[in-house]
Chain A
């Protein structure tokens, strides 16, 4: 494999250089029916799970077929998407913010052949390449972070638990039977690149062991003051240590103060904290970002820890399944999971979801904690 130049000349990096041009302009990529009707849409309907129609004041309609997919996607898969978009959609396609792919056509008669084509394409293990769904009062695709496939700080994998969860919840993706839509997100550590903290159900990777200290290399690999400053609980202090008779500058960690955030490791690679037994999953529930009926709210921790059971994360998917079932049975039409939990009371949430409540779930992190303790005699026995 010989190196092939694109035309870039490393000796003259500024020659002919193009910078600061930004993204391609959105309207280059609008299908004609979108371009002609932008800003003129009157209303939409979901014709069946995964199939939407938007109707314009011009009388035009755009029919959208939404399919789920893995966020991690090969160029082979993207080319397959292009092939379908070329054949059915005039060469246009889009992705949603939740990693779904949307194929749009401009008349109803084009929907059935598109759907048939999408559903006919299967993977080697029998799974769908393009499952149709993800609309309305159901569970759409899970947004997630990299996990073990590409990140240096994760406490769990991203793609694996998502695949496991969506297999278990598949029926909810292809139907609209829930009281309202239910958004699930995964972040593989509490850096939360995925910002899962306002999801109906959040799957969060978490460490439980304080960092190990690679004293021999710490001062060589890290800026010690930055590592110390990185700790939100001031658990890290400078320390002189002796390794093989050599006095070295390093740090000491007060383990009882560690909140396992991994921020020190982000700043200092000589403080790794990943561990097979220590790492696992926290489940959070009841968050939302929409302002509909009630204001947006944060997800609450409802399961303090579940082990990383690769490859199928059975305890995690079981707990999620329990919450989804209890919500489905108990919530009113239009009621989001968090609104339902607040209406019945969190004490009832734990009993109907059959989830144990442990002391870990009582907030003891700084001021906001106090506001979450029960300060009333209104509660349910």
Chain B
């Protein structure tokens, strides 16, 4: 017998897609049965009460969770989010239901020994429910109580060599794409850079000293699988700046229909015979490609590395050899003043361990934002408020046409006195000698 009737949630147990309701029920049943005699450190019926409170939300059309209180582990200002239920009497198992963010490994690769250890810990000291993974990238352990927090942290750090992730006004847990671990498009080793910077900036990650949250994300190529350009204050996107490598024999194989275009991504529909003119040459945004006499030519200096041709013919075209990354800044979701896309700050930077050049840019950006940013002002909002020029000044980067999609269409330039010959101090009396009142 379930502890709470959940007729609305039960309707989410049918259908082909995996049901989170069935999964929570399975966890509830496993805890009730407790075959391994786990000495649960939080209520055994926590999952039942979670289903109960969620059912109530389905009925009320409103959440039943309150703001988090200040909970955490000693010496850290982030990594734990307090969470309390607004109906603790009805659902005592989830009266206190805090979240622990655990810094995920690069590429979200795991071995099962680690995962099992994490499962054992979270069954013992938490609800047994997780998010794999949170939007920022962390492993999210949802549902534990305050006395367990230090114990969980102790166990993570001492027995799993594992630290917490970020929350609050600090560096949020950086995240990367699968990168060169299993992708031929990666222009740099995203996991290596993500790991190196995460380690370098542990203090910024755990101890909030920023005006607001700050996110790093690492995309190995302009396909942007981790969406860094849309959702990270600093987005590192891999690029090459020399020539796309062409294997003409493989191009011919695509044209001849021996290899499926786009790695077979369109195989579910009959799109007709592959047409290199229509599907590659004609879709190139800069029209910098030609296919004549059985030979593909690319005018590489006109290429804007959009990835389309490489995506369509991965066996024939490969990223260039002179690789690094671009840095874009200021992306964020709409709250408060509207969404912002990342704006290009550094068109190309070398990406070699120990990433000193990259760190230099990061630290200049942080210095600027920490000096000028208001409370709860994201970097993108600050740049919008003060203008892109201020950011260029703060980072000692010279303006270039690459910084704009088009030049300004108003002439209201805020000239600085030192930019104008002779300065601004003038003698009005001398002026009046030539210009009577």
List residues of chain A with CB under 8 Å of any chain B CB. 1-8, 10, 13-14, 16-31, 34, 38-39, 41-49, 52, 54, 62, 64, 68-79, 81-82, 85-86, 91-97, 99, 101, 104, 123-131, 135-138, 143, 145-154, 157, 159-160, 163-164, 166-167, 170, 173, 175-178, 181, 187, 190-198, 229-230, 232, 261, 263, 266, 269, 274-277, 279, 287, 289-294, 296, 298, 308, 310-312, 333-334, 365-366, 368
Contact = CB atoms under 8 A, between A and B. Distances in A.
B112 A138 contact: no
Q: Which 4 A-B pairs have the closest CB atoms?
A: A26-B106, A136-B265, A167-B15, A276-B61
A81 B263 CA distance: 27
Interface stretch (B96-104, B287-295, B345-353, B358-366): B96-104
Which of A34, A96, A99, A334 has its CB near the most chain B CB atoms (within 10 A)? A334
Interface in B94-143: 97, 99, 103-116, 118-120, 122-123, 128-137, 142-143
Given A167-B17, A292-B222, A19 B265 contact: no
A96 B107 CA distance: 8
B64 interface: yes
A23 to B, nearest CB: 4
B157 interface: yes
A261 B336 contact: yes
27 contacts: A17-B157, A22-B202, A25-B106, A31-B109, A34-B181, A52-B263, A71-B20, A71-B133, A72-B20, A74-B130, A77-B23, A92-B112, A97-B177, A126-B16, A137-B262, A146-B131, A146-B142, A148-B58, A163-B12, A163-B15, A166-B17, A193-B136, A195-B230, A277-B61, A289-B224, A291-B306, A310-B8
A21 B372 CA distance: 30
Contacts of A128: 16-18
Contact of A232 (B105, B137, B336): B336
Contact of B65 (A25, A29, A52, A151): A151
Contact of A125 (B14, B198, B335): B14
Nearest to A272: B62
Contact of A148 (B63, B113, B118, B337): B63
B398 to A, nearest CB: 23
Contacts of A154: 63
B307 interface: yes
Contact of A292 (B21, B44, B152, B306): B306
Nearest to A192: B333
Interface string B250-264: 000000000010111
A291 B105 contact: no
Given A152-B63, A292-B306, A308-B61, A19 B163 contact: yes
A92 B110 contact: yes
Given A76-B128, A82-B116, A279-B61, A127 B25 contact: no
Contacts of A160: 9, 12, 58
B339 interface: yes
Contacts of A20: 163, 202-203, 206
B116 A79 contact: yes
Main secondary structure of the interface of A (DSSP, over half): loop
Contacts, number: 452
Nearest to B6: A311
A198 B339 CA distance: 9
B411 interface: no
A194 B135 CA distance: 5
Contacts of B26: 74, 76-77, 124
A191 B333 contact: yes
B161 A152 contact: no
B150 interface: yes
Given A7-B154, A28-B105, 18 more contacts: A1-B41, A2-B39, A19-B75, A71-B132, A72-B142, A74-B129, A77-B23, A82-B115, A124-B13, A125-B19, A149-B54, A150-B65, A163-B19, A195-B231, A274-B62, A296-B229, A308-B61, A311-B8
A146 B266 CA distance: 33
Contact of B223 (A124, A261, A292): A292
Given A127-B17, A152-B68, A293-B308, A45 B195 contact: no
Given A70-B23, A152-B66, A78 B40 contact: no
B62 A279 contact: yes
A175 B16 CA distance: 14
Interface size class, chain B: 35 or more
Nearest to A121: B18
Contacts of B152: 6
Contacts of B312: 334
A65 B39 CA distance: 36
Contacts of A82: 112, 115-116, 119
A41 B25 contact: no
Contacts of B68: 152
B22 interface: yes
Contacts of A25: 105-106, 195
Contacts of B335: 190-192, 261, 263
B355 interface: no
Query: Taking each of B18, B147, B267, B279, which has the highest tally of chain A beta carbons within 10 Å of its own beta carbon?
Result: B18
B318 to A, nearest CB: 8
B223 A68 contact: no
Given A24-B161, A163-B17, A175 B268 contact: yes
B269 interface: yes
B378 interface: no
Nearest to B126: A75
Interface in B194-253: 195, 198-199, 202-203, 205-206, 222-227, 229-231
B267 A176 contact: yes
A334 B177 CA distance: 22
Interface stretch (B182-190, B388-396, B420-428, B429-437): B182-190
A136 to B, nearest CB: 3
A106 B7 CA distance: 45
Given A93-B112, A294-B285, A334-B279, A45 B263 contact: yes
Contacts of A18: 157-158
B67 interface: yes
Given A39-B189, A160-B12, A68 B17 contact: yes
B302 interface: no
B314 A22 contact: no
A243 B97 CA distance: 33
- The residue in A19, A127, A149, A294 that gathers the most chain B C-beta atoms within 10 A of its C-beta is A149
